[in-house]
Amino acid sequence: MSDSVLLDTSDGVLTITWNEPERLNALTAEMLHDAAAAIEGVGPDVRLIVVTGTGRAFCSGAALGPGFDGSATLDGANRLVRAITRTPVPVLSAVNGIAAGVGCSIAIAADITLAKSSAYFLLAFINIGLMPDGGATELVAASIGRARANQMAMLGERLAADTAAEIGLIHKSVDTEEYDAELAALVTKLGHGPTVALGQTKAAIAATTLTHLDAALDRERESQIGLFDTADAAEGGTAFVEKRKPEFTGR
């Protein structure tokens, strides 16, 4: 386990913290697999899982640039989303800042998502010539419907936390000064609730609303790997690193 993912278990709560604040908690394949393994390995002493980030971001997405391994990152993201949605333990996302790309997928894969009002959600994939992954094509549509899912995925625009709460993408958005107290209250309520009943409730709701999540993850992976080889994705990645607007050609 690297210092890029911090794990802490206290009073029945496993807290997983992305710890790369200087790069806005951009995720590598290793970080994704580490978090997934932690969730998969929880024992009966864990009654709640919290996922959050250090610094001013929850997660800015995958760690693009030199050394980026698209296939490995996809595999890590899919493993983590499956772990979050399958574990019988409630999962709470504490979104302290930007949740973009696969970071958005992870944030909304949780059972309850709390965000600071200054945070925002962004399916940024289209802006670099790619498509949503991490289960976003199922998770977003299941939460806010096809039209709004297309809006997020195809326009690639920021969705403010307040708006995300209003349209049902997340549980709640609160002002920064109220965030810690609200998070503590949720941790207490979920962490001391009827754990077995919560797990059964989670499984039943997922079975009804995320019926095609496995298929979505597999479809996204296959399509995304193909997109990695397109000219538009190459241009999008270069433009991202060079901090300029990409010039797509449709190829």
The pLDDT tens digits of the residues spanning 167-221 come to 999 999 999 999 999 999 999 999 999 999 999 999 999 999 999 999 999 999 9
- Mean pLDDT in the chain? 96
pLDDT tens-digit readout, 193-208: 999 999 999 999 999 9
CATH fold of 5-176+195-209 reads 2-enoyl-CoA Hydratase; Chain A, domain 1 (3.90.226)
| pLDDT of 241 | 84
Confidence of residue 1 (pLDDT cuts 50, 70, 90): low
CA-to-CA distance for 58 and 72, rounded, in angstroms?
A: 21
Q: Are 53 and 107 in contact (CB under 8 A)?
A: no
Q: What residues form DSSP beta bridges with 203?
A: none
2 pLDDT exceeds 90?
no
Q: Cβ contacts of residue 152 below 8 Å, gap of 6+?
A: 121, 122, 123, 140, 159
Q: Are 224 and 130 in contact (CB under 8 A)?
A: yes
| pLDDT of 67 | 84
Give the residue among 205, 7, 28, 224 at the shortest CA–CA distance from 133.
Answer: 224
Between these two residues, 157 and 64, which has the higher pLDDT value?
157
Q: Are 119 and 161 in contact (CB under 8 A)?
A: yes
| Stretch 123-132: mean pLDDT | 96
- pTM, whole model, 2 decimals? 0.96
pLDDT tens-digit readout, 5-51: 999 999 999 999 999 999 999 999 999 999 999 999 999 999 999 99
CA-to-CA distance for 95 and 93, rounded, in angstroms?
A: 6
| pLDDT of 121 | 98
| Stretch 67-75: mean pLDDT | 93
Query: What SS3 class is residue 77?
Result: helix
| pLDDT of 76 | 98
| Stretch 225-234: mean pLDDT | 96
| pLDDT of 233 | 95
